[in-house]
């Protein structure tokens, strides 16, 4: 429920006309910002569970992931409708023309199968290993999302905000890399010592 608050707040702003001089821009950017925030939250679940040993957290992951998809979809819909007037030809030209739009669209496209296989039956049908392999795409999505934001701000040379998100994502992905590599290093060192 809390996860819907930003959405309601943006919608309320649109109805009461309190989003400033350019409400379309505020809506598009607002939905985009929240997509990144929820993506970061989703990626925080596993490290937090591993650090605290609090397994109940795992149940949050699916919901947060689906909200990320929800905000990404809203972001795209807001862009397609408010900026492009739902003109399919114009949208396709725009995707072809602007690399940052292409990258954002790609991230959304990649997210779709993840959202579509989020329920229990899909996990069973795919088998846990295959499901997990598919859902590793979230790392690529995170990087594409970051690139999208970096490129969007490149016009103004203003990288303060994208850098914050990049830092968070680097930390979250770095933790995973370290966790998977550390035991192997340990093992190798042990082997080197014993032989």
User: Interface with other proteins by CB under 8 A: which residues?
Assistant: 14, 20-25, 27, 81-83, 85, 87, 93-94, 97-98, 100, 155-158
Long-range pairs, 44-50, Cβ under 8 A, ≥24: 44/172, 46/176, 47/172, 47/175, 47/176, 50/179
Distance (Å) of CA 23 to CA 61, 78, 108: 32, 11, 23
Cβ-based nearer residue to other proteins, 69 or 149: 149
Q: How far is the CB of 110 from other proteins (least distance, A)?
A: 23
Q: Token match 């979250």: residue? A: 172
Q: How far is the CB of 161 from other proteins (least distance, A)?
A: 10
The pair of structure tokens assigned to 59 is: 């149940």
Show the beta-strand stretches assigned E in the chain: none
Question: Rounded to 5 degrees, what angle do the CA atoms 113, 119, 120 make?
Answer: 130
Q: How far is the CB of 22 from other proteins (least distance, A)?
A: 6
C-beta separation of 46 from 54 below 8 A: no
Q: How far is the CB of 63 from other proteins (least distance, A)?
A: 30
Cβ-based nearer residue to other proteins, 99 or 174: 99
Cβ-based nearer residue to other proteins, 160 or 177: 160
Cβ-based nearer residue to other proteins, 2 or 160: 160
């Amino acid at each position: 429920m809390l996860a819907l608050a930003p959405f309601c707040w943006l919608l309320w702003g649109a109805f009461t006309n309190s989003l400033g001089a350019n409400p379309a821009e505020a809506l598009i950017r607002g939905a985009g910002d929240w997509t990144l925030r929820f993506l970061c939250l989703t990626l925080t679940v596993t490290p937090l569970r591993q650090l605290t040993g609090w397994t109940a957290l795992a149940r949050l992951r699916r919901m947060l992931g689906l909200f990320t998809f929800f905000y990404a979809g809203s972001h795209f819909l807001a862009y397609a409708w408010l900026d492009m007037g739902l003109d399919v030809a114009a949208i396709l030209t725009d995707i072809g023309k602007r690399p940052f739009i292409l990258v954002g669209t790609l991230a959304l496209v990649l997210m779709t199968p993840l959202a579509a296989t989020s329920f229990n039956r899909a996990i069973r049908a795919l088998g846990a290993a295959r499901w997990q392999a598919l859902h590793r795409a979230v790392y690529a999505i995170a990087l594409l999302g970051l690139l999208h934001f970096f490129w969007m701000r490149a016009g103004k040379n203003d990288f303060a905000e994208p850098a914050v998100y990049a830092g968070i994502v680097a930390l979250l992905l770095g933790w995973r890399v370290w966790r998977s590599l550390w035991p192997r290093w340990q093992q190798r060192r042990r082997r080197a010592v014993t032989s």
